[in-house]
A = this chain, B = another copy of it.
Amino acid sequence: MAASATREKIVTSADRLFYERGFEATSFADVAEAVGISRGNFYYHFKTKDQILDAVIERRIKDRHDMLDTWVDDGQTPMQCIASFIGILLMNNKKIRSFGCPVGTLFSELAKLDHPAEPGARELFDLFRIWLRRRFEDMGRTHDADALAMHILARSQGAATLANAYPDEPFLEDEVNQMIAWLDAVADQNAQKD
């Protein structure tokens, strides 16, 4: 098989395992078994475990970047874009209830491990932060766009964490509704000023 195809399969499996079990708790052998290749072959594609982590983070950044771009390219209004971001929580609610937020939980783990890839994980946060900031700016909130972006980012993180702790309760849906209501209120503030 072409090396690039095998590499892609490794990254895909590692991405899933790092999310479901955590980076530290996932071994070289675990990923190799999930892909269906030998550990020796594995070494041919990735020399160290940290290299896999880097590739997984890169993949996640690309995936999220593409997703965010889609909404903008689809011609959604800035407010619809932000609502779509909030909607991620519902779209992935099953996984989030089981394993939390892929961005937040990875960052937390790497922060504790003092891992060199921590800045890479923070880039994932930055990606959403900057994109959200831009949407709020387009809504006319040039003065507090970043604060609003951080606020909605924090709310999402908190909702994901508690949804993970209480997966059987309809908490996530409630919190999403509150966030949408908050977004409406922000938009109303704008309307009054105009």
Contact = CB atoms under 8 A, between A and B. Distances in A.
Copies of this chain present: 2
Interface stretch (A4-12, A48-56, A68-76, A155-163): A155-163
Interface string A120-159: 0010010000000000000000000001001101111111
A165 interface: yes
A93 interface: no
Contacts of A109: 22, 109
Contacts of A112: 20-22, 25, 99-100, 105
Interface residues of A, number: 37
13 contacts: A22-B112, A24-B25, A100-B108, A105-B108, A122-B166, A150-B166, A150-B171, A150-B174, A153-B158, A154-B161, A154-B175, A158-B158, A158-B161
